[in-house]
Structure 1
Amino acid sequence: MKEKTIDYVLRATWIAIAKMYNEEAGKEGSTMATGFALLSIDPEEGTPSTSLGPKMGMEATSLSRTLRTMEDKGLIKRKKNPVDGRSVLIYLTDFGKEMRDYSKKVVLTFDQAVRNEIPQEDLDKFIEVASKIMDLIATRKIYNES
């Protein structure tokens, strides 16, 4: 193809970002998925395990594997939910909170670097366009099965 499709630009950009995040996380013996999970867990109240998958856009199998690895590394602990004994709450350990702070710093450093190079007006337009694309997908306006 002579011209790059929107899909290609989005995918290639996300792959580059994911690679960059994995390289940074690797410096601390972690992964992007672990960092994302750390940022998705409430550091004070914990988070129900059932809400993490949808929050992170991960399938249950991948999430279970990530949580198991995080537990093995001492980043999280699981406790029964006192309100609903059938569910489990995920809490960060002290080490998990430290790594959460590291993950947050990595994300904010990337965010600031982009903001330093791209005018706010362009970023606003990018966010608007990305939101419209997500809306097209969410409302099934692209592949309408009639």
Structure 2
Amino acid sequence: MKDKTIDYALRTTWQAVARMYNEEAAKYGATMATGFALLSIDREKGSPSTTLGPKMGMEATSLTRTLKSMEERGLITRKKNPTDGRGVIIQLTKEGKEKRELSKETVLRFNEIVKQYVSEEKLQNFMEVAEIINELISEKKIYNEK
């Protein structure tokens, strides 16, 4: 199968990347989800909690669990959304901003190392293929609902 299916290559590569990020995050008592959340929250203004799930591709229950853990660790605070009384703005604390920079450096290092081994043309092709796959899925062109 590994030589014949696109999903196998995507799945095994993503699992390896996730494992690598989780191992790195564990050194700081965090997870990949925490690092991703830190990077998804606007550094200065914060972000509405309702925009984080779709932005991160996370289900509401997983996001809630991640945000709760981040709040307990003092990485974020929740403030009432001034434009929507029902909503909440997630803001980074000072420590959250520091951990955000660490997460950013980790991601940039990954990109830097990959770019040392993969040509710009191959990376561009990879990005184009990933974009096409995402479009096919979002437009339901693979398993359309009839």
TM-score (norm 2): 0.97
Matched, 1:13 2:13: yes
Q: Which runs of 4+ in 1 moved over 2 A?
A: 1-4
* Separation in structure 2 between the aligned mates of residue 89 and residue 20 of structure 1, nearest angstrom: 30
In structure 2, the CA distance between the partners of 1:42 and 1:15, relative to structure 1 (3 Å rule), is: same
1:67 aligned residue: 67
The Cα offsets for residues 76-114 of structure 1, whole Å up to 9 and x where unpaired, read as 000001122211100000000000000000000000000
Residue pair 2:2, 2:9 contacting (<8 A) in 1 also: no
Unaligned runs of at least 5 residues, structure 1: none
Overall identity of the aligned pairs, in %: 64
Matched, 1:58 2:62: no
Question: Shift of residue 123 of structure 1?
Answer: 0.5
Aligned length, in residue pairs: 146
Unaligned runs of at least 5 residues, structure 2: none
The Cα offsets for residues 113-141 of structure 1, whole Å up to 9 and x where unpaired, read as 00111000110111111111111111111
Question: Shift of residue 2 of structure 1?
Answer: 6.8
TM-score (norm 1): 0.97
In structure 2, the CA distance between the partners of 1:68 and 1:123, relative to structure 1 (3 Å rule), is: same
The Cα offsets for residues 9-62 of structure 1, whole Å up to 9 and x where unpaired, read as 000000000000001101111000000000000010010001111111111111
1:78 aligned residue: 78
* Separation in structure 1 between the aligned mates of residue 2 and residue 20 of structure 2, nearest angstrom: 27
